[in-house]
Amino acid sequence: MTFPFDEEILSLPFYEERHRALAGQIAAWTTAHSGLWRDVEAEDDPEKTELSIIRALGEDGWFAFLNESEAPDFRSLCLRREGLAYADDLADYAFSIQALAATPILRHASAAQRERYLPGLADASQVAAFALSEEQAGSDIAALQLRADRVGNGYVLNGRKAWVANGGIADLYTVIARTGEGPGALGLTAFLVPATTPGLQVHDRIRTIAPRAFANLTFEDCRLPADSVLGRPGHGFVVAVEVLDRFRMTVGAAALGFARRAMDAALGRAAERPIYDGRLLDLPTVRATLADMEVKLNAAALLVARAAWELDHGRRRFAKHSSIAKLYATESAQDIVDAAVQIHGAAGLIADSPTGRLYRQIRSLRIYEGTSEIQRTVIAQSLDLTRVGRTAP
């Protein structure tokens, strides 16, 4: 059985016995279910592959926390993403989008909305998506234009959403739309929109360099009852930012999973590749590259663990650490994957080789849930200016 985690990191006080047990369960599950992503041509039909992974995760209780009284701790969510990403890109995607899209419902839904939606999301008979971005409004959430006009006892939605993960396979979309209670970010509201709502259409399915269920949506006179509002009118920005603040660290965790797989592949190749009457692993420059990869892996793992620990312990400034973890882990994972390709030489570039796939799969993590530049902006805003003047001479 492959163990996708670093046992030394897991033994640190950031983690508890239940986390170490969970790591073992994740390793066992991904080993037993690898056929879900190996036996099928995942890249030819990512939607079908992803749906079968979501259903299998649901059947085995991986989303049960979505219908339990206690919200999940983020160390557990991060470990799930790390282990699934180590195993497969779509396995991580299938888990993460369902968890992310259901979280605003967990945090803001009325009792009736919870009863209506959470059981189906928890057993994965229903699939969720989170539709925030638009073509002209990605990083700039305040520029969202999809309109939700108050008509009679409900709302009518008109406009578009872009880059929606699970778009096309979702049964339920959480949609952030402009209701105009205030300017910019103050005039947004979250809505729960079943995929069957007349006027909601998948405009186009998007093929990216690492194929996945991903689509643009159109809303044309899409009528919703007033009880579709999630949380309060005018509160949509808060609904969106709250979930992003929390899930950014999980993107760091997924990056860690991809990076550790790249590291393992690089080590294996370096140890087995004969060269100059020895092995690649014997060359000092290659050893130095591997050492740099190891340092980055450790730093990323510690930053992810710290961010999740901060959130799980109710620390107010967890969002800063979530951004730090995402920024460092995703940027360093890109470096680690690139170094793994380099160590493989030409063999590293074969399209369906592990390194070839990782090279395509790792790229999007520096863009979604806030680009690296947005994370830097958040971190810069959180700098402690009370330290100014305290510098030692």
Ligand X SMILES: Cc1cc2nc3c(=O)[nH]c(=O)nc-3n(C[C@H](O)[C@H](O)[C@H](O)COP(=O)(O)OP(=O)(O)OC[C@H]3O[C@@H](n4cnc5c(N)ncnc54)[C@H](O)[C@@H]3O)c2cc1C
Q: Which is nearer to ligand X, 68 or 135 (CB)?
A: 135
Out of 132, 169, 259, 281, the only residue in the binding site for ligand X (CB under 6 A) is 132
Residue 224 vs residues 40, 154, 227: alpha-carbon distances, Å: 38, 6, 8
Smallest gap from Cβ 99 to ligand X, in A, equals: 12
Other C-beta atoms lying within 10 Å of the C-beta of residue 349: 12
Number of residues that bind ligand X (CB under 6 A): 16
Could you say whether residue 145 binds ligand X (CB under 6 A)?
no
Task: Report the length, in residues, of the chain.
Answer: 393
Nearer to ligand X, 233 or 370 (CB): 370
Tell me the closest approach of the beta carbon of residue 368 to ligand X, in angstroms.
Answer: 4
Nearest residue (CB) to ligand X, 97 versus 293 = 97
Please report how close the Cβ of residue 21 comes to ligand X at its closest, in angstroms.
31
Q: Considering beta carbons, is residue 243 or 265 the nearer one to ligand X?
A: 243
What is d(CA 95, CA 127) in angstroms, rounded to the nearest whole number? Answer: 10
Q: How far apart are the first and last CA of the chain?
A: 55
380: enclosing H helix or E strand: helix 372-381
* Residue nearer to ligand X on the CB measure, 46 or 83: 46
Q: How far is CA 325 from the centre of its chain?
A: 13
Q: Which of residues 160-189 bind ligand X (CB under 6 A)?
A: 163-165
Which two structure tokens, joined as six digits, stand for 375? 């994370």
Dmax of the chain from CA atoms? 81
Amino acid in the structure at residue 240: A
Q: Which residue has the tokens 């796939």?
A: 357
Q: Does 138 bind ligand X (CB under 6 A)?
A: yes
Nearest-angstrom CA–CA distance, 257 and 179? 39
CB of 164 to ligand X, least distance (A): 5
- In the list 31, 110, 139, 382, the residue contacting ligand X (rule: CB under 6 A) is 139
CB 297 within 8 A of CB 256: yes
Compare residues 161 and 306 and give the one whose CB is closer to ligand X: 161
* CB closer to ligand X out of 269 and 320: 320
131 touches ligand X by CB under 6 A: yes
Rounded Cα gap, residues 68 and 14, in angstroms: 24
Q: Which residue of 189, 330, 364, 375 would you call a contact of ligand X, by CB under 6 A?
A: 364
- Rounded CA separation 163/198 (Å): 21
As given in the structure block, the two tokens for residue 352 are: 């369906």
CB count in 10 Å sphere of residue 111: 7
Query: Could you tell me the smallest distance in angstroms from the CB atom of residue 2 to ligand X?
Result: 25
C-alpha span between 248 and 99 (Å, rounded) = 13
Residue tagged 């390709």 (tokens): 341
In the range 279-318, which residues lie near ligand X by CB under 6 A?
none
Beta-carbon-side half-sphere exposure of residue 376 (alpha carbons within 13 Å): 7
What would the two tokens of residue 362 be? 């790792």
- When binding is defined by CB under 6 A, the residue of 30, 96, 103, 133 that contacts ligand X is 133
- C-alpha 179/C-alpha 168 separation (Å) is 25
115 assigned to active site: no
Residue span 91-130 as binding mask against ligand X, x where in contact by CB under 6 A, dash where not: ---------------------------------------x
SS3 193: strand
Residues 41-60 that bind ligand X (CB under 6 A): none
Residue facing ligand X at closest CB distance: 138
Task: Report in angstroms how near the CB of residue 329 gets to ligand X at its nearest.
Answer: 16
Q: Could you say which residues in the range 365-384 bind ligand X, by CB under 6 A?
A: 367-368, 371, 373-374, 377
Instruction: Choose the catalytic residue: 82, 115, 369, 373.
Output: 369
Least distance from C-beta 58 to ligand X, angstroms? Answer: 19
Catalytic residues: 369
Give the footprint of ligand X on this chain (CB under 6 A). Answer: 130-133, 138-139, 163-165, 364, 367-368, 371, 373-374, 377
